[in-house]
Amino acid sequence: MERIYQLYKALTGHELQGIVPLAGAGSNRRYFRVSAIDAQTSTLDSQPSTLIAVIGTNQEENEAFIFWSRYFKERDLSVPAVLAVSEDKMVYLQEDCGDLSLYAFLAQHRQVDGSLDVEALDALKATIRELPRFQFSTLSPQLSVLNSQSVFSHSFPQQEMDRTSVMFDLNYFKYCFLKLKGVEFNEFNLQQDFERLADDLLEEQGDTFLYRDFQSRNVMLKGGKPYFIDFQGGRRGPIYYDVASFLWQSSAKYSDEVRELLINEYLTALNAHLSTLNPQPSALNSQSFTQRLHLFVLFRIMQVLGAYGYRGLWEKKAYFANSIPLAIQNLKKELSLGTCEPYPYLKAVVQSLIDLNAQEEEERQAEAEKKAKVATYLQNDNTYLDKGMQSPLVVNVFSFSFKKGIPADESGNGGGYVFDCRSTHNPGRYDEYKPLTGLDQPVIDFLEADGEILTFLDCVYRLVDFHVARFQERGFTHLQISFGCTGGRHRSVYCAQHVAEHIYEKYGVEVHICHREQGITSQLTPLCSKL
């Protein structure tokens, strides 16, 4: 941390006063928003009011980001400027691009039916129009072929998407997803199709830049303009990969119509950009581009499933495990389009995976129906009446802000639980989550990503399960469970909603939910009470 203070003073001439840690991503790099004075009231001479400090764990990775940032800045691309770097290249200060990611912006502008509004589509168009400028920046007129090749010597961890990297990703899918999922396959036959797929993916090679992680979480919106981050893994590679990565991001849930719209937007921007290059590459038409694009979509889905398998099935992180069905739906669509036809054994394995997923979905539905039957039985059972009890158990679940006090127990029974959620990571510290609640998917993803909230709830479930079961046995009629956090908006809402649904699904009792500070109430009614 001391190096951040020293670097900041050397750059700005001011003593660093404010330093706030930011949410981490998939790497071990640590990010901090830093300032010398209150960014809400003042600015620092000619310097921005806030900067982002980065502490990396790999010098080569840091050097790659610093090089590409400066390279893209020279070509007037919207990336955060690197303003100061420590001597050992392990700490650097960069421009602050704000807290609003394109991913969060799209969540805010998604309609009730799941479609995106005009503002969201405009943001997507503006983003994908910039992609060709990144991809062909290494072919700008002032660069010779030799210079273009030397640019990629700064790439990390490798200079190009080659056969080794393709086979690594395909085997990642094989061992970290198929094996963990229990899909049976002949390893030799599958390897042969992987070899053919690798040949096809690498058939067209050029000196274009492959961003590698071009997706909505790595685009920040500042003043309505997209800024691009996390390009340190960029390398030489085909242009199709980034389009596939962006448009088939599982959690983004783009419709086929939106994908088609954005592919055309990309091709228009691409061909306009190609016309400025000397020599001018041939323009691409929609049909030939889309046909080859789907090969990379297939590859990207398998690559993503490998990551989901490792993080979700092996490390048991709920966000990644819950993302698996979305990716398999995308894989099912590619199968229907014939993308797997040149690879017959891979096609058979993919079909087996889809069948297994369908079977698991049927089992989940059967389990839900079983729980509903149990709920009906509990509600109709005469045990309570035989013991002279008046009514089955009703559970009241609250979320609240500690600043406004703990909810009163209106039943008059007292007791129950009050849980403090403030030990877990707070989404409310970040601007992109402030307008959302614990019911919104971006907040849910944020809370589940590091697993803290899941560990917390595991303990809560054990306590609550014991209590609910015993209250049912003894014929008690009321139980109150309350979850508090700082503002009663994110963590407490998430916990209250999940615990309420857990109790309802497991025990079939009536559950009343009140997110007090949000003014949201709902009721989960046992099936028999609805008949």
356-371: pLDDT as tens digits? 999 988 888 876 776 5
What are the tokens at 61? 């990775």
**pLDDT attached to residue 285:** 82
Residue 343 region by backbone torsions, left for phi larger than 0, else alpha for psi between -120 and 50, else beta: beta
- Does residue 186 belong to any structural domain of this protein? no
User: Per-residue pLDDT averaged across 326-337, rounded?
Assistant: 95
Percent of the chain with pLDDT over 90: 69
Give the model confidence (pLDDT) of 71-81 as tens digits. Answer: 999 999 999 99
The answer to whether 277 and 140 have CB atoms below 8 angstroms apart is yes
Give the side-chain half-sphere CA count within 13 A for 218: 20
3-state SS, residue 101: strand
Q: Looking at the predicted structure, is the pLDDT value of residue 141 above 70? A: no
pLDDT band of 383, cuts 50, 70, 90: very low
Q: Looking at the predicted structure, is the pLDDT value of residue 23 above 90? A: no
* Pair (208, 320) in one structural domain: yes
- Does residue 461 belong to any structural domain of this protein? yes
Contacts by 474-478, CB closer than 8 A, 24 or more apart: 475/384, 475/387, 475/389, 476/393, 476/413, 477/389, 477/390, 477/391, 477/392, 477/393, 477/394, 477/411, 477/413, 478/393, 478/394, 478/395, 478/396, 478/411, 478/413
Give the model confidence (pLDDT) of 210-224 as tens digits. Answer: 999 999 999 999 999
- Does residue 447 belong to any structural domain of this protein? yes
Total-model pTM: 0.71
Q: Looking at the predicted structure, is the pLDDT value of residue 205 above 50? A: yes
- Does residue 368 belong to any structural domain of this protein? no
User: Per-residue pLDDT averaged across 5-12, rounded?
Assistant: 92
- Does residue 21 belong to any structural domain of this protein? yes
What are the tokens at 494? 């998430």
Crossing angle of the two packed helices 344-380 and 491-507, in degrees rounded to 10: 70
Residue 396 forms beta bridges with which residues? 480, 512
User: Per-residue pLDDT averaged across 518-525, rounded?
Assistant: 90
pLDDT band of 24, cuts 50, 70, 90: low
* Pair (248, 389) in one structural domain: no
CATH number of 18's domain: 3.30.200.20
Number of domains in the chain: 3
Q: Looking at the predicted structure, is the pLDDT value of residue 125 above 90? A: yes
String of DSSP letters for 292-361:
HHHHHHHHHHHHHHHHHIIIIIIS--HHHHHHHHHHHHHHHHHHHHTTTTT-HHHHHHHHHHHHHHHHHH
Residue 8's nearest CA partner among 86, 60, 69 is 86
Q: Using the 3D structure, point to which of 46, 72, 95 is the last residue of a domain.
A: 95
Residue 235 forms beta bridges with which residues? 210
Angstrom distance (rounded) from CA 404 to CA 417:
17
pLDDT band of 25, cuts 50, 70, 90: low
3-state SS, residue 366: helix
**pLDDT attached to residue 112:** 86
User: Per-residue pLDDT averaged across 299-327, rounded?
Assistant: 91
* Pair (172, 139) in one structural domain: yes
* Pair (400, 264) in one structural domain: no
* Pair (135, 85) in one structural domain: no
For the chain, give the mean pLDDT: 88
- Does residue 350 belong to any structural domain of this protein? no
* Pair (290, 328) in one structural domain: yes
Q: Using the 3D structure, point to which of 56, 71, 95 is the last residue of a domain.
A: 95
Domain that holds residue 65: 2-95
**pLDDT attached to residue 26:** 58
- Does residue 491 belong to any structural domain of this protein? yes
pLDDT band of 147, cuts 50, 70, 90: low
Angstrom distance (rounded) from CA 203 to CA 296:
12
Percent of the chain with pLDDT over 70: 90
Q: Looking at the predicted structure, is the pLDDT value of residue 529 above 50? A: no
Instruction: Find how far residue 209's CA is from the centre of its chain.
Output: 24
**pLDDT attached to residue 252:** 87
* Pair (155, 231) in one structural domain: yes
* Pair (295, 387) in one structural domain: no
Q: Looking at the predicted structure, is the pLDDT value of residue 387 above 90? A: no
pLDDT band of 385, cuts 50, 70, 90: very low
CATH number of 159's domain: 3.90.1200.10
Where do we find the tokens 């009703």?
394
Residue 274's nearest CA partner among 127, 145, 135 is 135
- Does residue 348 belong to any structural domain of this protein? no
* Pair (116, 229) in one structural domain: yes
* Pair (323, 461) in one structural domain: no
Q: Using the 3D structure, point to which of 48, 80, 95 is the last residue of a domain.
A: 95
User: Per-residue pLDDT averaged across 413-426, rounded?
Assistant: 90
**pLDDT attached to residue 350:** 97
Answer positive or negative: Cα dihedral of 370, 373, 375, 378: negative
| 459: exposed, middle or buried (Cβ count in 10 Å: 0-12, 13-18, 19+) | exposed
**pLDDT attached to residue 47:** 56
**pLDDT attached to residue 370:** 62
Instruction: Find how far residue 107's CA is from the centre of its chain.
Output: 12
* Pair (231, 106) in one structural domain: yes
**pLDDT attached to residue 371:** 54
User: Per-residue pLDDT averaged across 170-175, rounded?
Assistant: 96
Kindly give, in sequence order, each residue whose CB lies less than 8 Å from that of residue 188, ignoring residues fewer than 6 positions away: none
The Cα-based distances of 480 to 179, 228, 430, 438, 465 in angstroms read 44, 47, 31, 20, 13
Residue 483 forms beta bridges with which residues? 399, 419
User: Per-residue pLDDT averaged across 111-119, rounded?
Assistant: 91
* Pair (160, 87) in one structural domain: no
